[in-house]
Amino acid sequence: MSEFDKYTTPLSSRYASKEMSQVFSLRNRFSTWRKLWLNLAIAEKELGLDVITDKAIQEMSDHLKITDEEIAAASAQEAIVRHDVMAHVHTFGETCPDAAGIIHLGATSCFVTDNADLIFLRDAYDLIIPKLVNVINRLSDFALKYKDLPVLGWTHFQPAQLTTLGKRVTLWIQELLWDLRNFVRARNDIGLRGVKGTTGTQASFLALFHGDHDKVEALDKRVTELLGFDTVYPVTGQTYSRKIDIDVLSPLSSFAATAHKMATDIRLLANLKEMEEPFEKSQIGSSAMAYKRNPMRCERVCSLARHLGSLFSDAVQTASVQWFERTLDDSAIRRISLPSAFLTADILLSTLLNISSGLVVYPKVIERRIKSELPFMATENVIMAMVEKGASRQEVHENIRVLSHQAAAVVKEEGGDNDLIERIKNDSFFAPIHAQLDSLLEPSTFVGRAPQQTEKFVNNDVKSALAPFKEFINDTDVKLNV
């Protein structure tokens, strides 16, 4: 059967990076199991188990990366014994005959499966944190570039007071900064299950060391050190608590909401023709409508963000039904949800990097929309200017109200342009301020402190948040597979 005759997840086959796919690959999983068995043997030998020979250690060290043939052999063995770990113990033992008798010594299956999962989760965070840093950095450059460009603000997707394009983008960046904080916190909180035995009591290891509790504790610590971790969970059942998975997936789920919101804003702005995601020279928007420039990247972000957000519930539900020291109904779902979450987060960040590197702005469209709405927003300025000339506020308000309704009728009922300012210019009542009208309508006077807020936020908050990640920042183009 050809590979094209079998279903493969689009997460790995279509969208995700090679690096993230490799973290959760079968070869990396089974090679990591071998690394765990090797380090367990090294620590056990250091602590006095003479049954483990230097030759056995060397043999295991020489065969850490599992071959295609060994994966196939382990798969065939699993079909017989119905146990994946024992199938790989058997296969590793055949490859390393001098170590066959001591591989997995004192351990339970979760020594390799759980510890390996924790290694993968940390490695996966190490891949997505730099991508998030670069999304933030590129959006920050964009925000500074457009910190002074007035745009129509929207509340309830109805015209509201003006803001600037840069200030709007800071709203995305602020949420991404919170996501970065959460990613780093979750990554650094990941420890190892360590060497705990069948039900977490370390009974098998206590037997190996003839009741020496200090050596058992030293073994747990040493294996943790050999695997490059600072933290080992002090108590476990057979598995590490599945609540850890909640803590790991929660930041990803929260990030999904950020990504969805940002991509939705860009999709709406594309409809308004104010801003677009990158559109490549030979890109086709529609098979039938050749003129279309669909926001397909942002649509992909929204689609996959919904998937990522939903995976959090897998972790919550799984953690809540773990009976006593363990039950196996966590296994199958975790094989799906944990890799899926990180593959999806990786795809979202790669796509956001691509989008943020090539956003297209149309200032003339933005200016035209402001001109169509600004006259209504300027009425308060007109009222105050008239009062300064000695008019009654109530009388001015009434005149403005009448003219505003007339202008609104032209826009809504006749499809015409907003002619409120022309009506004011042609009304002798407003003659005292006719010379001021153009200055009263200058868009930059309606944006408040948006430019200053943007500059301060990027130069202070963003700069300090990204300072620990300077080595990750780059301007590399991100090309999407599709």
Tens of pLDDT, residue by residue over 101-139, are 999 999 999 999 999 999 999 999 999 999 999 999 999
Q: Which of 356, 385, 343, 434 is nearest to 128 (CA)?
A: 343
The CATH number of the domain holding residue 386 is 1.10.40
Please tell me the predicted confidence (pLDDT) of residue 426. 92
- The domain spanning residue 23 has which CATH number? 1.10.275.10
Question: Is there a single domain that holds both residue 123 and residue 181?
Answer: yes
pLDDT of residue 281: 52
- Do 140 and 183 have their domain in common? yes
Is pLDDT of 372 > 90?
no
Model pLDDT for residues 235-265, shown as the tens digit of each residue: 999 999 999 999 999 999 999 999 999 999 9
Whether 478 maps to a domain, the answer reads no
Is 464 part of a structural domain of the chain?
A: no
Residue 336 pLDDT more than 60?
yes
- Domain shared by 77 and 221, yes or no: no
What pLDDT is attached to residue 293? 74
Summarised one tens digit per residue, pLDDT across range 406-430 is 998 998 899 988 898 899 999 999 9
Active site residue 213: no
CB 344 within 8 A of CB 255: no
Whether 466 is in a domain gets the answer no
| Residue pLDDT, tens place only, 453-478 | 999 999 999 999 999 999 999 988 88
| Number of separate domains in the chain | 3
Catalytic one of 156, 210, 282, 287? 156
Q: Is the pLDDT of residue 380 over 90?
A: no
Same domain (yes/no): 75, 209: no
User: Is the per-residue pLDDT at 182 higher than 50?
Assistant: yes
Distance CA 69, CA 35 (A): 18
Mean per-residue pLDDT over the chain, rounded: 94
Residue bearing the bigger pLDDT, 439 or 267: 267
Q: How much is the pLDDT for 285?
A: 52
Q: Which residue has the higher pLDDT, 479 or 257?
A: 257
Q: Is 156 a catalytic residue?
A: yes
Average pLDDT over residues 173-177: 98
Residues 161 and 253 in one domain: yes
| 192 and 303 together in one domain | yes
Taking Cα atoms as reference points, which of 52, 91, 57 lies closest to residue 74? 91
Same domain, 171 and 77: no
Per-residue tokens: 202: 């370390």
CA distance 311 to 321: 16
Of these residues, 13, 83, 213, 286, which one is catalytic? 286
pLDDT tier for residue 291 given thresholds of 50, 70 and 90: very low
**Residue range(s) defining the domain that contains residue 240:** 109-365
Joined together, the tokens standing for residue 404 give 């505003």
163 & 265 share domain = yes
What is the structure's pLDDT at 287? 45
Q: Is residue 151 part of a domain?
A: yes
The token pair that represents 13 in the structure block:
């086959």
**Residue range 276-282: mean pLDDT, rounded:** 73
Same domain? 149 vs 290: yes
Residue 378: pLDDT over 80:
yes
- Domain assignment present for residue 372? The answer is no
List the CATH number of the domain containing 258.
1.20.200.10
Given a cut of 70, whether residue 283 has pLDDT beyond it is no
Q: What is the sign of the dihedral through the CA atoms of 78, 82, 88 and 91? A: negative
The structure tokens 């798969």 sit at 75
| Predicted confidence (pLDDT) per residue in 387-407, tens digit | 999 999 999 999 999 999 999
Q: For 190-204, what is the mean pLDDT?
A: 96
Residue 317 located in a structural domain: yes
What's the whole-model pTM score? 0.92
pLDDT at 280 exceeding the cut of 70: no
3-state secondary structure of 162: strand
Q: Residue 411 domain-assigned?
A: yes
Instruction: Among 43, 70, 95, give the residue marking a domain's end.
Output: 95
Helix intervals (H) in 190-242: 203-208, 213-226
Please indicate, yes or no, whether residues 325 and 215 belong to a single structural domain of this protein.
yes
pLDDT at res. 290: 46
Cα atoms in the 13 Å half-sphere on the side-chain side of 427: 16
Q: Are residues 253 and 136 in the same domain?
A: yes
Residues 323 and 383 in one domain: no
Give the pLDDT of residue 139: 98
Domain boundary pick from 95, 118, 136: 95
pLDDT at residue 268, as a whole number: 97
- On whether residue 191 sits in a domain, the answer given is yes
What tens digit of pLDDT does each residue of 16-73 get?
899 999 999 999 999 999 999 999 999 999 999 999 999 999 999 999 999 999 999 9
Is residue 284 very low, low, confident or very high in pLDDT (cuts 50, 70, 90)?
very low
Domain finish residue from 95, 124, 141: 95
- Mean pLDDT, range 296-310, rounded to an integer: 97
